[in-house]
Amino acid sequence: MVALIAVFLYFKYRGPSQLEWEFSRSAQIRIPVEYPVHGIDVSKHQGKIDWTVIHESPLAENARLEFVFIKATEGITIQDKRFKTNYTAAHATNLRVGAYHFFIPWRDPVQQADNFVHTVKLKSGDLPPVLDVESSHPLKSDQQTIRDIDTWLQLVKKEYGIMPIIYTNRRFYQRFIKGHFDEYPLWLAHYSSEQLSGDISGKLWFWQYSELGKLNGIKGKVDYNVFLGDLNELEKICIP
């Protein structure tokens, strides 16, 4: 954990000129090559994925695809129709695998947590569960939204025995997450610049740096992410 916090501090206080970017032919985007551990996140929107070729090509000389987060559930009743297939097939690769829930702010958080835990049976070696939370309800107060997020996180933490990761964008983070959930690992989506500038507290583990990537085995575009550490550190945060 100390090592991960050190990685966060190292990243936070760097200027844009200090980040190295390189065009990746396999990803068809520029990637921050000084971070060796990259990953993707997928859902039914990527269609049928050929997992047999996903892990074959390096993104750059010192950067490889090492993990994938797969959408499992949404709201209180929706299960991603490709989750089970993707989860099983991803485990046949060398990738570290995780699952996420898309939070609907006007739905009951207890039922949303139930939807996730009844759908997702994480294994030893999997990445921690993820709450994807990006929007609020106009009729709910900020404090009620924060309480609903906390309810989901506490129930899922109790179920899996590990602290969930919070995925969000910068605007939602500043309004609802910062100062309330700093003890939770953070996965931040941020595409508008080449660094995560600004005030970020807590434990930043993952950065979603592009939504425009390409990859053999996937038709269309896919999100690209980087883990702010090395492969050994990635393995340490997985479920025991």
Is 134 known to be catalytic?
A: yes
* Alpha-carbon torsion (2, 11, 224, 148), positive or negative: positive
Amino acid letter for position 9: L
Cα→Cα distances 156→78, 163, 166, Å: 17, 8, 12
Distance, in Å, from the CA atom of 194 to the CA atom of 15, rounded to the nearest integer, reads 9
Catalytic entry in 22, 34, 134, 150: 134
Instruction: Indicate the angle between helix axes 109-119 and 142-160, nearest 10 degrees.
Output: 30
Record the tokens describing residue 114, joined without a space: 């139930």
Is 74 known to be catalytic?
A: no
Burial of residue 134, with CB atoms counted within 10 A of its CB: 0-12 exposed, 13-18 middle, 19 or more buried: middle
Distance, in Å, from the CA atom of 38 to the CA atom of 168, rounded to the nearest integer, reads 18
Distance, in Å, from the CA atom of 129 to the CA atom of 216, rounded to the nearest integer, reads 26
Tokens 């499992």, located at residue: 72
Distance, in Å, from the CA atom of 112 to the CA atom of 192, rounded to the nearest integer, reads 31
Cα angle 75, 77, 78 (rounded to 5 degrees) comes to: 75
Residues designated as active site: 41, 134
